[in-house]
Amino acid sequence: MSSSSSTLVYTPIEEISKIHASLKENFNNGTGKLADINYRKNQLLQLGYIFQDNFSRWEEALAKDMGRPRLDSYMCVLYAYNNVNSWAKPSGPSTWNYIWAPLSPTILKEPKGVVLYILPFNLPIWTLTGLAGAIAAGCPCVIKPSELTPASAALMAELFPKYLDQDLYRIVNGGVEETTKLLELPWDHIMYTGSGRVGRIVATAAAKHLTPITLELGGKSPAIVDSTANISLSARRIFWGKVMNCGQICVAPDYVIVTEDVKDEFIKECEAAYKSFFPEGPEKSESFSRIISEGHTQRLKNLIDQTRGEIVFGGDVDIKARYVSPTLVKNVALDDVLMQDEIFGPVLSVVSVKNAGEAIRIINGRERPLALYIFSNDSKLKKFVLENTLSGSVVVNDVVIQGGCHLVPFGGTGASGCLICYFTSDTRHSICINGQFFEFSIGKQIEAFTTTVNGIVTFEA
Ligand code: NAD
C-alpha cells in the first residue's frame, strides 16, 4: 500500500487477509512486547506525536475533506498514557469475603487480541481516540478510515507507518468492498463507529465468528426546552450544536421539543443566534463547514423540499459546493420527513408540545437516542425526564460537551449503539490458591449485570 498526502490509495483486496494474518501471528506468537506496559506507553506517545508533529497537515486535510474550520478536532492520548499502569494491573474483588479471600481471587487484564477499528467520516480524528484504549489494553489494531475523508485517510496511511510499530498497528484504506473483506475475517474485537444501517451489517458479520463488538452509532437526539429555561441561552446553545461541523456530529441536537408557551420566543432567539453567529452570512463564514459529499447534500435538499413544516430561515442548498445553509423549520409534524432518520446536517426542526409528559411520549415512542438534552431550570422536570427516558447521555442546559469529557464513559443504548464488552479480556482468570475453585457463577452474574446496565452520564451547566 502506498499513498501520498493528497491521494488516497485503496489497500489491494488480496493484502487484507495477509495483514490480518500477520497481526494475529504477531499477537499469538510474537515477541511478547505487548505485555510490556512501557512498550504500550511508547506507542501511545507515538500516536500523539502523529498529530502533534503534523498539526498543520491535519488541519489542511480536514479543511480539504469537509471545509473544516481550524482547531475543530483534537486527539488526547495522555489519559490512556497516564492510566495504563493502573488499568492493566491485576485486581482483586472489591469486597473482602472470608470464604474466598484465602484463595486470592484475581482478575488479570488480558488483551483480547487483534482489533478491527472502522471509522466514520464526520470526525476522523476524534473518533480515533478509542484507538488509545486498544493500544493501552495491549491489542494490535487494524484501522479502516472512511473513504469519504480521502485527505485524512491518505494522511493516516502516510504517517501511521512512520510512527507506529507496523508489526502491530496497520491502516487499511478502502470503501464497501474492502470493508466487506475485512468483515469476513475472524477478529478478536470489532469497534465500529458509524450509522445504524452499516452497524447492522457489522453486527451480522461479527456474529458469524462470535466476535465481540462495540457499536458507536447515531440517531435522532432530541432537546427539550420548557418555560423555566433561559430561552435565549437555550437557543444559542442548541443552534451552535446544530451548525457545528455543519450538523455532522453524532450528538448534535437533531430536533427540539418546545413547550407551546415559549415556542415563539425560542424561534425568535434562534433567529437572533443565527444573525450573531453569521453576521456576513454562513456561506462566507470561516467557521461553517461543508457537507461531506454531493450525495449527502442532495439527501438534505430532498428533506428541505419535502418537509410539510414551515421554513423560518435558511433552506439554501448548492449541491456542487456541498453547501446547506443553517435552516430552522417550525410546526414540524411527528410523521414529517424531517422526523424519520437522523438529519446529520444543519437543519433544525421545532416540534411543539403542551407539556413535558407529551415530550416524554414522543421520545419514548422512538429509538433510544445517543444524547438527550434538557433545557430547564425546574428540578422536578429534570428528574422526571431522567427517570422516564433512556439514552446514551443526558446533558442539562448545554449540548455536545459530553463527547469531549474523558472522565466518563461515552456511548449509546439500543439503536444508538452499545458497548457489548471492553477491550480487556472478557474471560476472567480467577487464580485460586490450593487448587480449589467453587463455581457459583457469581462472576457471570456480575458480567451479565455490567454489560446490561446503562451508564447514563448527566451534566449540568
Ligand atoms: P457509515 O455507516 O456510512 O460509514 C462508516 C464506515 O462504514 C465507513 O468506514 C465506511 O467505509 C463503512 N461502510 C459503509 N458502507 C458499508 C457497507 N455496506 N459495508 C461495510 N462497511 C461499510 O457512517 P458515516 O456516514 O461515515 O458516519 C455517520 C454516522 O456515524 C452517523 O450516524 C453518526 O451519528 C455516527 N457517529 C457516531 C459516533 C458515536 O460515537 N456514537 C461518532 C461519530 C459518528
Do residues 93 and 190 both lie within one domain?
yes
CA 298 to chain CA centroid, nearest Å = 24
CATH number for the domain spanning 229: value is: 3.40.309.10
Q: Is residue 8 part of a domain?
A: no
Contacts of 177 (CB under 8 A, 6+ apart): 13
What ipTM goes with this model? 0.98
Burial grade of 10 (CB within 10 A; 0-12, 13-18, 19 or more) = middle
CA distance 23 to 16: 11
Percent of the chain with pLDDT over 70: 85
User: In terms of domains, do 69 and 172 share one?
Assistant: yes
The residue nearest atom 13 of ligand 1, judged by CA position, is 176
Q: Does 4 reside within a domain?
A: no
Of 162, 185, 216, the position where a domain reaches its end is 216
* Residue 299: CA count within 13 A, CB half-sphere: 14
Does residue 5 lie within any of the structural domains?
Answer: no
Higher pLDDT, 129 or 429: 129
Alpha-carbon span 35 to 310, nearest angstrom: 60
Amino acid at 173: N
Of 162, 183, 216, the position where a domain reaches its end is: 216
Q: Are residues 161 and 77 in the same domain?
A: yes
Same structural domain, 207 and 245: no
Q: 222: Cβ below 6 Å to ligand 1?
A: no
Q: Considering 158, 187, 216, which residue would you say is the last residue of a domain?
A: 216
Residue 144 Cβ < 6 Å to ligand 1: yes
Q: Do the Cβ atoms of 384 and 232 come closer than 8 Å?
A: no
Hunting for cell 409528559 — which residue is that? 357
Q: Which atom of ligand 1 is nearest to the CA of 148?
A: 26
Q: Cell triple for residue 14?
A: 488480496
Looking at residue 30, which CATH number applies to its domain? 3.40.605.10
Domain range spanning residue 395? Answer: 222-460
Per-residue pLDDT at 344 exceeds 90: yes
What's the average model confidence in pLDDT over 2-31? 87
User: Going by DSSP bridges, is the β-strand pair 371-375/458-460 parallel, antiparallel, or unpaired?
Assistant: unpaired
Q: Read off the pLDDT of residues 408-432 as tens digits, 9 standing for 90 and up.
A: 667 788 898 865 433 333 332 233 2
What's the gap between Cα 296 and its chain centre?
A: 19
Q: Is 254 in the pocket of ligand 1 (CB under 6 A)?
A: no
Read off the pTM: 0.89
Name residue, grid cell 425546574.
378
Q: Same domain for 192 and 233?
A: no
Domain membership flag for residue 316: yes
Using the predicted structure, report yes or no on whether residue 213 has a pLDDT greater than 60: yes
Tell me, yes or no, whether 261 and 391 share the same domain: yes
Give me ligand 1 centre to Cα 196, in Å: 8
In the chain, how many domains are there?
2
Q: Are residues 196 and 275 in the same domain?
A: no
